[in-house]
Structures are given as structure tokens and as C-alpha cells.
Structure 1
Amino acid sequence: MEAFLVSTGVVALAEIGDKTQLLAFILAAKFRRPWPIIAGILVATLVNHGFAGALGAWLTTLFEPQTLRWILGLSFIAMAVWILIPDKIDADESSLARYGVFGTTLIAFFLAEMGDKTQIATVALAAQYQAFFSVVVGTTLGMMIANVPAVLLGDRIAEKLPVRLVHVIAACIFATIGIMTLLGAGERFGF
């Protein structure tokens, strides 16, 4: 349960102001059809985070527990720093309209998530908790918590959300997880 809750919370916070949330705003404004957009986000996130979770689980087989602890701890601290850097959306990620609303959202979100903060976080969380299903479901739920309101409410909430404060809170959570990992909090998981 801890893996699910931490994964959900961390990704929901990390996603605020992220380029995929900006993409959700753009798609909602462009198409004005929220349900195919939401479905595209869900499918793209499940597939993307499924691959990321599998990679995280696989990494636990490659490294000794002590080495993995250092890799994960430093990765979480790096995520804390990275989350404080504002994202920008690439113009080509929102120009896929020829695939319809669902297809455009699916392709754009999948590509936007490649190497994104939340994908890297999913890899690290899956390796940290060794709970593939809980982490993937949690990170996917976190993405949906952040992006569904962006699709449904669009610009009405974008201007009222203290994005910088949310990023600082998420960075503090990532840093805390990283420090706790370095200090041995993951020993119950074998590293």
C-alpha cells in the first residue's frame, strides 16, 4: 500500500506544471472533447509507466543491494532538483491532429512521457519498492489526478494554481525519499 500511495502522491505533485500537463491544456483547448483526451492520457500512461516499472524491476536484478541503494537515493535527489526546472512543450507534440482526438492524445502523451520526470520517477519507485503493479497503478493514478482537471477545467485552474509551490513540495518529497534511501530506509527491501 505504501508503494501505491507514495507513487500516486509524488507523481500527482510532480505532474503539476509538467509538459504533459501543458499538453493536456493544449489538447483540451484544441479539441474540446474531454473524454477521448482522458482515455488517450490513461492508455498512454499505462503503457509508458508499464515499461518504466518493468525497467525499474529489472534494475533490481542487475545491481547489488548497496549499489542499488546509492543509485536510487541519488536518483531521487536528482529528481528533486529536476522538478524545480520548468518544462516547455515542443510544438510538434501538439500537431498530430490527423490521428483524431484519442490517437493524437495517445501518441503525444506517450512521446512526451519518454524520459520525462514522471517516467524516470516510475523507474526509481519500481526499483525502490519492488512492487511493479502498485507503482504503475499509483503513478498512473497520479498522472490522472493532475491531468484530468487540466482537461476538464483548462485555463480556469491554470492561472489559480501555485505551480512553483507545488514543485517545491514535490521536490522536498523526492529529496526526502532520496535521503531516506541513502540512510538505509530501503533495507527492508534488501538494499
Structure 2
Amino acid sequence: MLNAFLISLVVVALSEMGDKTQLLALLLAAKFRKPIPILFAIFLATVVNHGVSAVLGQWITTVLSETTLLWLVSLGFIGMAVWMLIPDKLDDESESINRWQKYGVFGATFILFFLAEIGDKTQIATIALAARFDSIGWVTIGTTLGIMLVNLPAVFIGDKLADKLPIALIHKIGAAIFLIMGVGALLQHYFL
């Protein structure tokens, strides 16, 4: 299960670099300037979102045939590779932050981050990873830590660090990992 944890951590950390949720974390940090409640809210929103996603990934393995699941997960990883190459942007999240501000720093961050994760690359990856590795716990822990590793510096350092990171290269590396996982699963099943 160490593989499930490590691969989940690395894949999601790479996916999160430059992702809309990382950009949201930067905006929240700039708006509220209270990193600790922001980080706790991001952590809790991610645990809930990715925990449910991992359960969904496991459930999918019980209702689909092994061949259908193999193709679905493999094509999902290959699709994630392509998606990684499309840059994310925030659609005027400042307005959303202001709308949820009445719930305080923690409440606004939790709500916004949870909603931003729905249908996000990292949520889809969590579903696929849980289906691939048959591990709700290790995948949830790995993906959550991956999110936190990327957002911790984003919240504390803000956009000063974001401008210095080679986001395009990081996305290409993440895309390559997803592609290798998707093609590798197919090759392993049909040729090994």
C-alpha cells in the first residue's frame, strides 16, 4: 500500500501546481491574511472531498467488470495527462470570496475549496487512484498530503513563489506520469 500512498501524493501534488484550487488558496491568503485557519479549512475540505472520492473509486470496482474498469481507469489516466496540459484559471473568485466571507475565514475557505475541488483534476485523479490501488485510506491520505504540500507554501508565501515555479514543466511531468500510469495499466494487463 506504500505505492498507493506515494503515487497518490506525487500525482496529486504535481496536478495541484498551478491548479485553480492553488490559485484560490493564493487569493484566500491575500484576502484574509490568516494562514492557519485557511490551511485547516483546506485540509478538512480536502479530506472530506477526497475521502468521498476514494469511496466512489472503490465502489466503482464493485459494479464494473474488471475489463471495463481497466479501460475506464486507463483512459481516465490518459485523459488526465491531456487535461494536465491545459492551464487553469480562476473565473472571478474574488466575488465568490466576498459572498462567502460572512462565514469567516475558516468557513469561507472550507466552502470555496470544497466546491472548487468538485470535478477538479485532483478529485478525478483520487477516484481513479482508489479504483486502481484498491485503497481508500492510503489514497485519501496521499492525495490530501499532495494538496497540502502544494498549498502550504502558496498560503504562506503567496504569489511571490508562484511566479518563480516552472508551472508548465511541472504540468508536463504530471501529464507524463498520468500517461505512463494509463498506458502501463493496459500493457500490464494485456502483455504481462
TM-score, with structure 1 as normaliser: 0.95
Q: Does 1:151 align with 2:155?
A: yes
- In 2 relative to 1, CA 89–62 (structure 1 residues): closer, same or farther, beyond 3 Å? same
Residue of structure 2 in register with 1:110 after alignment: 114
CA contact (8 A) 1:81 1:171 kept: yes
CA–CA separation in structure 2 for the residues paired with 1:186 and 1:153: 47
Q: Deviations over 1:51-93 (max 9, x none)?
A: 1000000000011111111111000000000011111113244
Equivalent pairs, count: 188
Q: Deviations over 1:94-115 (max 9, x none)?
A: 3321110000100000000000
Residue of structure 1 in register with 2:41 after alignment: 40
Gaps of 5+ in 2: none
Matches within 5 A, 1:39-188: 39-91=40-92, 92-95=95-98, 96-184=100-188
Aligned residue identity for 2:188: G
Report deviation, 1:187. 10
Report deviation, 1:140. 0.2
CA–CA separation in structure 2 for the residues paired with 1:122 and 1:53: 6
Q: Percent identity?
A: 55
1:108 aligned counterpart, secondary structure = helix
Aligned residue identity for 1:121: A
CA contact (8 A) 1:69 1:186 kept: no
Report deviation, 1:186. 10
CA–CA separation in structure 2 for the residues paired with 1:174 and 1:185: 17
- In 2 relative to 1, CA 126–187 (structure 1 residues): closer, same or farther, beyond 3 Å? farther
Aligned residue identity for 2:44: V
- In 2 relative to 1, CA 100–186 (structure 1 residues): closer, same or farther, beyond 3 Å? farther
Runs of 4+ in 1 over 4 A off after TM superposition: 185-188
- In 2 relative to 1, CA 5–186 (structure 1 residues): closer, same or farther, beyond 3 Å? farther
CA–CA separation in structure 2 for the residues paired with 1:93 and 1:71: 34
Gaps of 5+ in 1: none
Aligned residue identity for 1:94: I
2:129 aligned counterpart, secondary structure = helix
CA–CA separation in structure 2 for the residues paired with 1:119 and 1:187: 30
